[in-house]
Amino acid sequence: MTTHEAHLQPDACYLAMKARDARFDGRFFTGVTTTGIYCRPVCRVRLPKRENCRFFGHAAQAESAGFRPCLRCRPELAPQSLAWSIQDAGSILAQQAARLLEEPDAWSESPSVESLAARMGVSDRHLRRIFEAQFGVSPLQYLQTRRLLTAKQLLADTDLPITEVALASGYASVRRFNAAFVGHYGLNPTQLRRVGGRGSSGTQVRLGYRPPYDIASMLGFLATRRIEGMEYVDEAAGELGRTLAIESAGAQHSGWMTARFDPETTQVVLGVSDGLRGVLPQAIRRVRALLDLDADPQAINSVLHARFPNGDGLRVPGAVSGYELAVRAVLGQQITVAAARTLAQRLVDRFGEPIETPSPHLRRLFPAPAVMAAATGDELGQLGIVRQRQAAIVAIARAVAEKRIALHGGADVQATVAALKELPGIGDWTAQYIAMRALRWPDAFPAGDIALQKALGVTGAKNPAREAEAASQAWKPWRSYAVLRAWHGA
């Protein structure tokens, strides 16, 4: 039995499936032996008999067992589920490998088991062994499922040509893509085409999440930090938008996106402009990170609810660009949110590249790493940025531009935090904040944060940071969420 299967209780899964409980969406999938189809717990088809159901912890397990994805509930729309609570070395290595496979920004070309093992610093054989023990499938099967489900979503929700779908999904040629699709699903890719996928914001796709989700708090957090001309937040409409630039295979893709919450379906409707269609999987992944759509509230609340009972729906806001988040974190060192927003606004107005969009709210891109790497102290000083932060911004920009540091969800957290702290002007608070929001690390903890120390009631202690760190041990591995709940409660 794999680690993912060990926590599944078949009778409980069947009850969740019977209730179509969205809290379990993505936490398991049901293979129906009489149809050969696997579904999400929220699927609206007629409930199969209990004896005809097999339960799997991941879509790749269901597909490896010979089941095909349901065309109605569409497993590719389900939020992801990774078991962060397991702390032995093998499971941590497997989880990190899965994070890398799920992160398009981590690869300049299509990943392989060999390149993944090299990135992890282990042998191919060892990687396969620990990965299969954790997930019940090989890394290649896991990767194959990710590629096919990505392609399935692009086929169903967009009008991208088949060639672009194949390349965006990680296939080197249309021939290989067609062969994999037909061999795996018994369908020709064109049979999954649907009419639609286009709207006023360009290509539209839907992204699932698990309730509860405090939408108002997420939008409020982003609204207080928004940069005019680059971002907007419409709290009443449950929508946000922003400009975005994504580099892929040496090419720059620029455009804008909108994201609107649809609470009735527990989904986010994502609109992406034509300029970003070529990197749609990366854009989807970044928006999922920005809005923390893959969080598992049930697992998090089982650890944090007793101490923070009013934060069950809170999510940790992420970032569409780890580099951008790091620069904005530096600007926010030891000043108020409003003051940091003012400095970020000046930075974008001075260095951000203009972009044409249909929205008057979206006019500029965040300054590129190469631009900020070349910025002078005089130029930054004129914006009111003090010397120490000038050095930190330039150092981060150079490290990212030269690819010495990667700031995304697939990065090695401990190594990246250590590398950040070696840069001038980057201390533990900034590194932990970047880990929490840019690296998507659920256990980050900026113990030196004054607001956090006040919320925890340790400011009067001889060593407040040490007291905060000690108090936080009970909240592992979800300390990032504990930080947000403490801030929110304060």
Nearest to 30 by CA among 10, 46, 7: 10
Helix ranges restricted to H, 383-437: 387-401, 413-421, 428-437
CB contact set of 105 (below 8 Å; sequence gap of 6+): 282, 285, 286, 406, 408, 409, 410
Q: Which residues contact 183 (CB under 8 A, 6 or more apart)?
A: none
Provide the annotated active-site residues. 39, 449
For 331, the enclosing helix (H) or strand (E) is helix 322-331
Write out the two tokens for 283.
């854009």
Structure-block tokens of residue 50? 């209990």
**Partners of residue 270 on adjacent β-strands:** 205, 259
User: In the sheet that 198-199 helps form, which strands lie side by side, from edge to edge?
Assistant: 198-199, 202-208, 267-272, 251-262, 239-248, 231-234
Comparing CA positions, the residue from 102, 110, 245, 252 lying closest to residue 168 is: 110
Compute the distance between CA of residue 448 and CA of residue 298 in angstroms, rounded to an integer: 28
Structure tokens of 313?
């729906």
